[in-house]
Chains A and B, each alone.
Chain A
Amino acid sequence: DAGITQSPRYKITETGRQVTLMCHQTWSHSYMFWYRQDLGHGLRLIYYSAAADITDKGEVPDGYVVSRSKTENFPLTLESATRSQTSVYFCASRDYPKETQYFGPGTRLLVL
């Protein structure tokens, strides 16, 4: 299907484990983003990427790692999960030079 997909949709893990959230888009948009949504905070930017092999930090990057070897994929890794990383994670893409970002359906992560 065309668009932006995320997997898994739901994940339960334990403190200290490594977790990778996947994001795939079929539009060949140059920009991709990772956000987390928490009550009282709205959506906060974790990392973004302007193109393959170009990534940069957002507002809340600590504890996360990203990579972008291919334009269509932008995985987010929690190297050692903590309870504070329990959240809903959204991936988004943007078709430069347009401003609008298009969001995936989200991954709900619970860290026990």
Chain B
Amino acid sequence: DQQVKQNSPSLSVQEGRISILNCDYTNSMFDYFLWYKKYPAEGPTFLISISSIKDKNEDGRFTVFLNKSAKHLSLHIVPSQPGDSAVYFCAASKVGAGTYKYIFGTGTRLKVLA
């Protein structure tokens, strides 16, 4: 049973436009969420995170939105740049329960077209 789902395997966006990557989760115990970016032949790198006590977190061009009632989070990249082309993974964790494990989604491959 996939507890964290990224239903779009791929997404193409024009340079300068907004990229919106989506993630759904099923376990209401998750209370911390992260986005990682992964380039080919490299390890994932941390991008941005959000705690369940917030509904939005912003860092430069990247904003993560959390809708707890819908069990949905999204990553907005504005404006999108060709260097943003990568695979994006969302991850969820149960910090409050004292566990330190992430559950990852299957990833969305973003291609930003110049």
Contact = CB atoms under 8 A, between A and B. Distances in A.
Contacts of A48: 100-101
Residue among B36, B43, B95, B106 having the largest count of chain A Cβ atoms under 10 Å: B43
Contacts of A101: 46, 102
Interface in B74-114: 89, 91, 93, 95, 100-102, 104-107
A99 B106 contact: no
A105 B45 contact: no
A40 B106 contact: yes
Nearest to A94: B100
Given A48-B101, A105-B43, A100 B107 contact: no
B32 A99 contact: yes
8 contacts: A42-B89, A42-B106, A43-B44, A43-B89, A43-B102, A100-B34, A100-B49, A106-B43
Closest 8 CB pairs of A and B: A103-B43, A42-B104, A42-B106, A43-B104, A103-B44, A100-B46, A105-B43, A104-B43
Interface of B: 4, 6, 32, 34, 36, 41-46, 49, 89, 91, 93, 95, 100-102, 104-107
